Amino acid sequence: MPTTTEPQTAGVEGAARPAAAELTDRIREALLSGDFAPHQRLIEADLSDRFEASRASVRTALMNLAGEGLVERLPNRGARVRAITVDEAIEIVEVRIGLEVLCARKAAENLTEEDASGLVDLRGRIQAAVAAGDLVGYASLNQEMDRRIREISGHATATRLLERLLAQSARHQFRLAYHPGRINQSAPEHIAIIDAVLARDPDAAAEATRRHLEGIIALLSDMR
């Protein structure tokens, strides 16, 4: 959803105060990083102080984030962090299957030599993180892989929709990343996706992506 922008205004001691579009990005990042708990009230005055932004910018940013499904507006009670249930997270992954399969196909079709070099490097870093048991690094690399596949696909509409869906289910993605034994299951799945794209095999890339996401649905179902 397009964000509403407004001119920056001077804050304390002449410091520039972020416009609504920039502020939306900063609050979104804080939400996805877990700085705010599910159902936590988002007080405009507190956010204004924290981000050194005008109340008008905060209000617009919260409206933008409500449109993305990250925040919910409460009648006469302001806004709070929207909590996504496990059932909603499963529905989101079901929708992601079609979009991510499409992106994987397009990535395999559009792969350049430069893209391939980057994926080979990423593949090595994923394997190194698994060998070291680095869950934090591995989770970050998973996000990088997903982003790379979307970028290589060149499909702007699918990318835009996926980024919104991923933002809504980010908390469940973090839970899955640290689920006992998850790294040993998901790492080979991610490597299979990369290898299929590197082989420029759209069917194999699509199938590897589908298997990976169906595994996520199965795991989420067990977490009900």
What pLDDT, on the 0 to 100 scale, is given for residue 74? 85
CATH topology of domain 9-81: Arc Repressor Mutant, subunit A (1.10.10)
Domain with CATH 1.20.120.530 in the chain: 86-222
Return the HEC string of 128-154: HHHHHCCHHHHHHHHHHHHHHHHHHHC
Tell me phi and psi for residue 210, to 5 degrees: -60, -45
Between CA 216 and CA 210 the distance in angstroms is: 10
What is the CA angle 1-73-6, rounded to 5?
50
Contacting residues for 124 by C-beta, under 8 A, at least 6 apart: none
Q: Which CATH number fits domain 86-222: 3.40.1790.10, 1.20.120.530, 1.10.150.120, 3.30.70.20?
A: 1.20.120.530
Among 26-40, 79-93, 131-145, 168-182, which is the least confidently predicted range?
Answer: 168-182
Per cent of the chain over pLDDT 90 is 63
Contact 130, 187 (CB under 8 A): yes
Between CA 4 and CA 173 the distance in angstroms is: 28
| 17 pLDDT higher than 60 | no
Question: Quick one: which of 50, 104, 88 has its CA closest to 170?
Answer: 88
**C-alpha 16, offset from chain centre:** 28
Which of 27-36, 125-134, 174-183 is predicted most confidently?
125-134
Domain with CATH 1.10.10.10 in the chain: 9-81
- As a whole number, the mean pLDDT across the chain is 88
What pLDDT, on the 0 to 100 scale, is given for residue 127? 97
Between CA 182 and CA 135 the distance in angstroms is: 10
Between CA 47 and CA 42 the distance in angstroms is: 7
Contact 158, 102 (CB under 8 A): yes
Between CA 44 and CA 59 the distance in angstroms is: 7
Q: What is the pLDDT of residues 72-108, one digit of tens each?
A: 988 878 899 988 888 999 999 999 999 999 999 999 9
Between CA 27 and CA 31 the distance in angstroms is: 6
